[in-house]
């Protein structure tokens, strides 16, 4: 169980009561990932009682209450025991997938608010940054400072208040003009 991101591989095992053999076109598992049908492809197991399927999480997949395994799709082929008897396709005794969460949406800053009044040269100013979801890996390199006029300064600290909210302090201010703090568009280490 956990939260999975784009590129993560989810593995599923179907256990038969006896050895199974797949047809020329291998079966696949039908998944529901956030209301979208996806397929876990067959990986191995023909000739044994254990079939293994895998699904690679795709960009845009999101499911906050757990993916669901709906059925086995035979794709027009047979799935039989070694004597040629068809497999009962009911997925009995299936483990819960409620904890298999998928989140491929990058967190964003839902608000960036300057806390302090307009600073003077040499002062610092604090910003409160609130993210759209709980994040980790936030540091100074995840932000851009935008100056107007002759204003200058640098980020002196980033402190987590909780998983959603951080305080960013811009220090060493000099010159006259404006200052804005933005979340970097790419290359951040925020998870």
Name the burial class of residue 139, with classes exposed (0-12), middle (13-18) and buried (19+) by CB atoms within 10 angstroms of its CB: middle
Model confidence pLDDT, tens digit, residues 114-164: 987 776 656 889 999 999 888 888 999 999 999 998 989 999 999 999 988
Question: Using 50, 70 and 90 to split pLDDT, how confident is the model at 184?
Answer: confident
Q: 31 Cβ partners below 8 Å, 6+ apart?
A: 37, 38, 39, 40, 55, 67, 68, 69, 70
3-state secondary structure of 28: strand
Q: Are 154 and 174 within 8 A, CB to CB?
A: no
Q: Are 125 and 173 within 8 A, CB to CB?
A: yes
Please state the domain extents for the chain. Answer: 2-103, 109-183
Look over the chain and give the mean of its residue pLDDT values, rounded to a whole number. Answer: 89
pTM score, whole prediction: 0.66
Residue length, the chain? 191
What pLDDT does residue 179 have? 87
Location of structure tokens 């483990």: 95
| Residue 3: pLDDT over 70 | yes
Q: For the chain, how far is it from start to end, CA to CA, in angstroms?
A: 18
Measured distance CA(49)–CA(146) in Å, rounded: 61
What pLDDT does residue 188 have? 72
Model confidence pLDDT, tens digit, residues 45-56: 999 999 999 999
Cα radius of gyration (the chain): 26
């Amino acid at each position: 169980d956990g939260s999975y991101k784009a590129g993560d591989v989810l593995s599923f095992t179907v256990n038969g009561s006896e050895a199974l053999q797949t047809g020329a076109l291998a079966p696949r598992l039908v998944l529901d990932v956030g209301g979208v049908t996806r397929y876990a492809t067959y990986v191995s197991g023909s000739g044994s009682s254990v079939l293994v399927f895998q699904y690679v999480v795709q960009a845009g997949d999101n499911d906050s209450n757990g993916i669901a395994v709906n059925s086995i799709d035979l794709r027009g082929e047979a799935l039989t025991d070694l004597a040629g008897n068809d497999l009962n396709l009911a997925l009995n005794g299936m483990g819960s997938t409620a904890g298999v969460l998928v989140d491929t949406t990058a967190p964003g800053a839902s608000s960036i608010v300057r806390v302090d009044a307009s600073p003077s040269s040499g002062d610092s100013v604090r910003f409160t940054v609130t993210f759209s979801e709980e994040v980790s890996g936030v540091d100074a390199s995840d932000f851009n400072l935008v100056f107007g006029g002759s204003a200058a300064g640098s980020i002196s600290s980033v402190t987590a208040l909780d998983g959603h909210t951080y305080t960013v302090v811009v220090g060493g201010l000099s010159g006259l003009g404006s200052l804005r703090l933005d979340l970097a568009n790419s290359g951040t280490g925020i998870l």
